[in-house]
């Protein structure tokens, strides 16, 4: 029987942090290994052009993200791992979707507002139409499921709206994709636990390839509160609760179990123990990534074969889409 299709992408804009890992990448690997889905995972290089960038750094950023994918456990034999720009049909479909995308909905997108504020000297149209390209990435492969973090839900809602609208104007063509969230869909910043951990605020990020000393020093410096009891209470104890969530996400234990494990510890002991756990957890990953980066030909060949497979299904789908709209 045909398995349902699952698609997700990550932008090559910097190093992956533990929010990207617990909200997305770890779940990609678990979903791939469940054997229940036909998986497509890609590097969203076209999306990454909407942020200020240096062309000389782009190839290394792409290679680095591909190494993250493979070192974390994505397997080119099980999933199609590819580069967005290697499948031109996604930008082709993005244009078609733009012609049915309501301007008002795009204007309401939180990410557009946040990123426009963050780079006021470069509020480009691509930043505005970003969600239509994301919808194209999803609808092009007939995806029914999309694993993402909480900040992408608004974009996914638009993908459903566009699928529905296209289907009703031009006949049944697309699935309405559903999100798959993890138990930690919004990891908070270490230096400001009221804000989402984000690559645009590197000071609050725990990067998954950070060396153990860096992990220790970042966690030691994480913002907590003026009490001393380890307790899960995101409203009153955002910093401690975020650390409990990180521990729970990595260990697979419930928050209650994690809380019990730390019972009687002070904040310093909690931080020490979390830092050890995080550095041990990513030890294998760090080694595997370093080895992979020395063999870039292996990474490139995985991307080439994944891109060829993705392109094949995209070409077929695009022919149907064009027929539907009379082109």
Contact residues: ligand ATP, CB under 6 A: 10-11, 13, 19-20, 22-24, 148-149, 151-152, 185-187, 196-200
The position carrying tokens 């590197």 is 202
Note whether 306 and 80 are within 8 A (CB).
yes
Binding partner of 311, given ligand LTN, ligand ATP, none, CB within 5-8 angstroms per partner class: none
**Helix segments in 148-254, DSSP class H:** 153-170, 212-220, 238-251
Residue 51 engages ligand LTN in binding (rule: CB under 6 A) = no
Q: Which residues are catalytic?
A: 115, 196, 199
Nearest alpha carbon to residue 189 among 169, 205, 172, 175: 205
Which of ligand ATP, ligand LTN, none interacts with 23 (beta carbon under 5 to 8 A by kind)? ligand ATP
Which stretch in 134-142, 161-169, 207-215, 315-323 sits in contact with ligand LTN by CB under 6 A?
134-142
134 binds ligand LTN (CB under 6 A): yes
Least distance in angstroms from the C-beta of 39 to ligand ATP: 15
Among 6, 16, 18, 44, binds ligand LTN (CB under 6 A): 44
Nearest in space to 173 (alpha carbons), one of 145, 141, 146 = 141
State how far the Cα of 97 lies from the Cα of 115, in Å rounded to an integer. 22
Rank residues 16 and 230 by Cβ distance to ligand LTN and give the closer one: 16
Give the whole-angstrom CA distance, residue 122 versus residue 77.
Answer: 40
The entry of ligand LTN, ligand ATP, none that residue 7 binds, CB within 5 to 8 Å by partner kind: ligand LTN
Q: Is 16 in the site for ligand LTN (CB under 6 A)?
A: no
- Lay out the sheet containing 80-83: strands in order across: 80-83, 38-43, 5-10, 145-147, 178-180
Binding mask 173-212 for ligand LTN (x = CB under 6 A): ----------------------------------------
H or E stretch covering 6: strand 5-10
The residue within the footprint of ligand LTN, chosen from 137, 210, 245, 259 (CB under 6 A), is 137
From residue 323, alpha-carbon distances to 94, 96, 173, 264, 319 in Å are 16, 12, 11, 66, 6
Q: Which residues bind ligand LTN (CB under 6 A)?
A: 7-11, 44, 47, 134, 137-138, 146, 148, 152, 155
């Amino acid at each position: 029987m045909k398995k349902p299709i699952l698609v997700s992408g990550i932008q090559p804009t910097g190093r992956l942090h533990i929010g990207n890992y617990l909200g997305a990448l770890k779940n990609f690997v678990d979903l791939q290994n469940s054997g229940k889905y036909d998986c497509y995972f890609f590097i969203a290089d076209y999306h990454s052009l909407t942020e200020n960038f240096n062309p000389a750094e782009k190839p290394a950023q792409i290679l680095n993200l591909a190494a993250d994918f493979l070192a974390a456990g994505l397997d080119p034999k099980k999933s199609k791992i590819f580069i967005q720009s290697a499948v031109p049909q996604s930008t082709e479909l993005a244009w078609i979707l733009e012609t049915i995308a309501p301007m008002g909905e795009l204007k309401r997108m939180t990410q557009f507002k946040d990123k426009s504020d963050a780079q006021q000297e470069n509020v480009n149209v691509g930043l505005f139409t970003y969600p239509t390209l994301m919808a194209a990435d999803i609808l092009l492969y007939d995806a029914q499921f999309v694993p993402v973090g909480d900040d992408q839900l608004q974009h996914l809602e638009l993908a459903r709206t566009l699928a529905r609208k296209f289907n009703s104007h031009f006949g049944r063509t697309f699935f309405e994709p559903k999100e798959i969230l993890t138990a930690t869909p919004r990891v908070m910043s270490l230096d400001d636990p009221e804000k989402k951990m984000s690559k645009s605020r590197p000071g609050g990020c725990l990067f998954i390839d950070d060396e153990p000393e860096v992990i220790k020093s970042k966690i030691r410096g994480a913002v907590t509160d003026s009490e001393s009891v380890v307790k899960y209470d995101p409203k009153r104890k955002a910093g401690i609760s975020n650390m409990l969530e990180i521990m729970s996400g990595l260990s697979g234990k419930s928050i209650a179990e994690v809380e019990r494990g730390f019972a009687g510890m002070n904040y310093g002991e909690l931080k020490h123990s979390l830092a050890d756990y995080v550095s041990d957890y990513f030890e294998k990953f760090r080694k595997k990534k370093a080895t992979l980066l020395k063999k870039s030909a292996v990474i490139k060949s995985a991307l080439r074969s994944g891109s060829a497979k993705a392109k094949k299904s995209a070409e077929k789908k695009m022919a149907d889409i064009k027929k539907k709209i009379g082109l």
